[in-house]
Amino acid sequence: MKSALLVFLGGGIGSVLRYGVSLLFKHQLNLKLDLFGTLTVNILGSLVIGFIMGWLLKSETSNQNLQLLLVVGFCGGFTTFSAFSLENLNLLKSGMYFQFLLYALGSLVIGIHAVYIGFVVMRKLI
C-alpha cells in the first residue's frame, strides 16, 4: 500500500507539472501546437530520470521508496517517454541491440498506429 501511495503522489506531481509546461508553451509563448510542450517534457523527463538513476546507483542508496516516488511516480506522471528511454538505454548497455531496435521501433510504429486506429474508430462511432 505504501508503494502505491508513493507512486500516486509522485505521479500527481509529475502530471501537474506536465500540465503547467503545456500551458506555458500555449499561453506564454503563444504557440498553437502542443508538440513543443510534449517534446520539452519528454526530453526533460528523460534527463531527470537519468539524473535520478545515476544518483541512486552512484550513491548506492538503492532506496526503493525514492525510486518509486521519483522514477515510477514523478517521471511516469511527467512523461512515460522517460521510462521508455531508460528501458532502451538498459537494452543497449546489456548489448541487446536487436531487442533494442525491435522495442524502440516497434513501440513508435505500433504506438502511432494505435493512436490512429483509436482515432478512426472513435470518429466512426461518434
Answer yes or no: is 17 within a domain: yes
For the whole model, what pTM was predicted? 0.73
What total number of domains does the chain contain?
1
> What's residue 29's pLDDT?
72
Answer yes or no: is 89 within a domain: no
Q: Burial of 41 by CB count in 10 Å (0-12 exposed, 13-18 middle, 19+ buried)?
A: buried
Answer yes or no: is 69 within a domain: yes
Please give the residue range of the domain that contains residue 47: 2-79
85: cell is 528511454
> What's residue 34's pLDDT?
63
Sequential pLDDT tens for the chain (126 residues): 999 999 999 999 999 999 998 888 777 777 666 667 777 888 888 899 889 888 888 877 668 899 999 999 999 999 878 888 989 999 999 999 999 999 999 999 998 998 889 888 888 886
Answer yes or no: is 46 within a domain: yes
Answer yes or no: is 112 within a domain: no
Location of C-alpha cell 501546437: 33
Answer yes or no: is 35 within a domain: yes
Q: How far apart are CA 13 and CA 103, in angstroms?
A: 28
DSSP for 18-49?
HHHHHHIIIIIS----THHHHHHHHHHHHHHH
Question: What DSSP state is assigned to residue 96?
Answer: -
Q: How far apart are CA 8 and CA 108, in angstroms?
A: 27
Q: Which of 119, 49, 110 is nearest to 79 (CA)?
A: 49
Answer yes or no: is 97 within a domain: no
Answer yes or no: is 106 within a domain: no
> What's residue 33's pLDDT?
60
Cβ-Cβ contacts under 8 Å for 34 (sequence gap 6 or more) = 22, 25, 26
Count of CA atoms in the C-beta half-sphere (13 A) of 64: 3
